Amino acid sequence: MKFLRRLLLLLIVLLLIAGVFVATCPAEFAYRMVADRFGAVRLAGVSGSLWQGRAASTQVFGQEIGALDWQLEAAPLFGGEVMAHVRLAGNELSGGGIVDRTSDGTISVRDATFRVPASLAAPALDIPSLQLLGHIDGKLTRAQLRGVWLQQASGTLLWSDAAVAGAAQAQFGTLEATFSSAPDGSISGVARDLGGPLQLSGTFKVNAGSFEADANLAARDGNPQVIEALRYIGEPQADGTSHLIIHGQLFKLF
């Protein structure tokens, strides 16, 4: 009986020590243990604890995106799931939301918001003569990644005070895109204007590592600046509108 009591006490002491270690585990030490599982993501200047920490620098595919703060949830760990509230603050990109990683490696993001410069969309639109101005605000209701590929997503993108400069200068107004997962496993969406000098009606689709878009653009009320800008966007049509068709690979955007 004495042996069992001592063994039980030893187990309690070991559990307490393990609990204290996990509760106070430095974030830098924890990151070193799992850094090879982060794929294209690299952290530097890691501080704080495992549960509430900060990385002064976050890089994705070698590109700096800003400082990252996180707060880890304890309960999901018992089911082999890592869930954290994250906040990213960078010179060009900012955002936050809930990120969780299941035991099979699937990463999900939900209730997330972000803001990026419109110029980041330039490689996708492929309009070399024009510079995209302003910011794009996004809301992700839910997104799911396996590896580096986006498998499911739903949300909205809003380009407020959209404008271009360069070979032509024009104000476009406000443009909106909404998207959601399709039955075939792709992500499909529609783009439209919310009033303003540019009329926009289009669709787009993301499937595995590729994306495609088809849009019709026109100058509302014959706006001369927009008419000039449309000379550099897509294929000009006989009626003065422009037809933009895009086919591309996602990896070329990074």
Last residue of a domain, one of 69, 101, 133: 101
Residue 180 structural domain:
106-254
pLDDT for position 139: 94
Identity of residue 38:
F
Q: Pairing state of beta strands 63-72 and 198-207?
A: unpaired
What digits encode the pLDDT tens for the residues 27-63?
777 777 767 766 677 888 988 887 888 889 988 778 8
Q: How far is residue 115 from each of residues 8, 92, 163, 175, 228, measured CA to CA in Å? A: 54, 8, 16, 15, 29
Q: Look up the pTM and report it.
A: 0.80
| CA nearest to 196, candidates 234, 235, 158, 245 | 158
Q: Is residue 155 part of a domain?
A: yes
What digits encode the pLDDT tens for the residues 80-114?
677 889 998 988 889 999 988 777 777 888 899 99
Last residue of a domain, one of 76, 101, 126: 101
User: 86, 111 in Cβ contact below 8 A?
Assistant: no
By the 10 Å C-beta count (0-12 exposed, 13-18 middle, 19+ buried), 101 is classed as middle
* Overall number of domains in the chain: 2
pLDDT at 6 over 80: no
What digits encode the pLDDT tens for the residues 187-231?
999 999 999 999 999 999 988 778 899 999 999 999 999 999 999
pLDDT for position 151: 75
pLDDT for position 5: 47
By the 10 Å C-beta count (0-12 exposed, 13-18 middle, 19+ buried), 252 is classed as exposed
pLDDT at 24 over 60: no
CA distance 107 to 83: 10
**Domain identity same for 122 and 248:** yes
Q: What is the mean pLDDT of residues 116-130?
A: 88
